[in-house]
Amino acid sequence: MIGSGGTVLVATRNRGKSKEFAEAFGKLGIAVKDLHDVEGMPDIEETGETFAENAYLKAKATADIVGIPVLADDSGLCVDELDGAPGVYSARYAGAGATDADNNAKLIRELLIRERGDRSEEDGEPETLSAARFKCVLVLYDPADGSKLEAEGSVEGAILREARGAGGFGYDPLFWLSSRGKSMAELTPADKNAISHRGNALRELLALIG
């Protein structure tokens, strides 16, 4: 599908995601562009009911326009106490145009409404409000032959009552990793990529590319 010397367009305007993908594909000699490099690219409506459906919709629609292989991801946070929400609506949980801060604030509000009042700090760990996991599905679509590769990754954690850390993006400051004793936002970029849902999915995808 794509090899050393090739170029893949990542269907995102998120600089954080673009950087993660560029570092990974760079090791294979593959250049990465994103939607900042394409003028007039329309927003692709995410109408799928699953991460996989949305990733495929974005990858194919974008590739059909730009004419080169496109990598799209759909990822999100699934919180047990919220019956899996925000899920596919993670990026727009607080509404269209919501910022990370808006989404994080709504997440805490919703969890506090449902709080059972039986949680406390244990073994020096900060208070958490619910078990949760980040999920990611990556789809690489080549318009030349209509082929696609799909990979999935996840990471288990819990939602903090209060944000910790200044790194990462999205819900990272609220996502507690007990195994590391840190929030996702407190990890170095290298440590985050080693365990994150996107990192896990990306490693699976790169193995498929060979």
117 is in an annotated binding site: no
Judged against a pLDDT cut of 60, whether residue 118 lies above it is answered with no
Reduced to 3 states (helix: H, G, I; strand: E, B; else coil), residue 123 is coil
Question: Which of 42, 28, 56 minimizes the C-alpha distance to 151?
Answer: 56
Distance between CA atoms of residues 91 and 100, nearest Å: 8
171 is in an annotated binding site: yes
Is CATH 3.90.950.10 correct for 7-209? yes
197 is in an annotated binding site: yes
93 is in an annotated binding site: no
196 is in an annotated binding site: no
Model pTM? 0.86
Amino acid at 12: T
Question: Which of 74, 53, 92, 98 minimizes the C-alpha distance to 11?
Answer: 74
74 catalytic? Reply is: yes
Task: Using DSSP bridges, classify how beta strands 128-142 and 31-34 pair: parallel, antiparallel or unpaired.
Answer: unpaired
Task: Using DSSP bridges, classify how beta strands 70-79 and 7-10 pair: parallel, antiparallel or unpaired.
Answer: parallel
Top-ranked range on mean pLDDT: pick from 7-16, 68-77, 110-119: 68-77
State pLDDT tens for residues 126-139. 999 999 999 999 99
Judged against a pLDDT cut of 80, whether residue 165 lies above it is answered with yes
Catalytic residue among 73, 74, 100, 142, which?
74
Judged against a pLDDT cut of 70, whether residue 116 lies above it is answered with no
State pLDDT tens for residues 92-109. 999 999 999 999 999 999
Distance between CA atoms of residues 189 and 196, nearest Å: 10
What are the respective helix, strand and coil percentages of the chain, to the nearest 5?
A: 40, 25, 35
For position 16, what pLDDT does the model report?
79
12 is in an annotated binding site: yes
State pLDDT tens for residues 31-46. 999 999 998 888 888 8
